[in-house]
Every structure is written in structure tokens, then in C-alpha cells.
Structure 1
Amino acid sequence: MIIPPQPAPNGLSDAPLAQGQQASGKIYFDVTGAPPDSVVYNDGVEDVLIWTTNA
């Protein structure tokens, strides 16, 4: 199930950035079920960013 983006205080915009632009803020993840030990951002072809716990 995909949850539509919701605005969050100090959160990043869900609008794309043009090449060379930067943005700062917080990224929030909505997780159902057990707490995750990793979060992966995939661009549809490959994993671009991976956050993991320091286990």
C-alpha cells in the first residue's frame, strides 16, 4: 500500500529538485508493522540510498 505524501513541519518538499539545487530538512518514514532495521530508496532501477541500524 502506498501512502500519499503528507506535509510535515521542517520536512522536505515532495517536489523534484532541478540539477544543482539543494534542499535541507527532515525525512519522515511511515512504517507499519515491526520497527525496520533499514530503509532503502530505490529509483526504480537500483538502490540509491540505504539507511541501516548500527547493529
Structure 2
Amino acid sequence: MVRLAVFALLVLAIWLVVLQLLRLARSKQIDWNGVAFAIGFVALAFYLRHVTGIG
């Protein structure tokens, strides 16, 4: 029962953070090319770690 309560609180906290980020994204000009590059860089790093086993 305690595990379920902790999980529910964690999901709620993540949801609130996502909502705050969405509000921030709407109110400011964001360089989406930079954001996409950063996400792609991290995804490529995980992929290469998986393929090569190094890291």
C-alpha cells in the first residue's frame, strides 16, 4: 500500500513539472532546433552505448 502511495505521488509530481514546462514553453521563444539537437545527441549516445557496449 505504501508503494502505491509513493508511486502515485511521484506520478503527480512529474505531471505538475510537465505542466509547468508546457506553460513556460508557451510564454517564451524557444530554439527548437537546439532542443531537438540535444535530444538527438542523448538518443544517439544511448544507441551507441547499446550497440558497442562501451560506456
Same fold (TM over 0.5): no
Structure with more relative contact order (C-alpha pairs < 8 Å, separation 6 or more): 1
Greater per-residue strand proportion:
1
- Which of these two proteins has the greater Rg computed from alpha carbons? 2
TM-score interval, smaller chain: under 0.3
- Select the structure that is richer in helix: 2
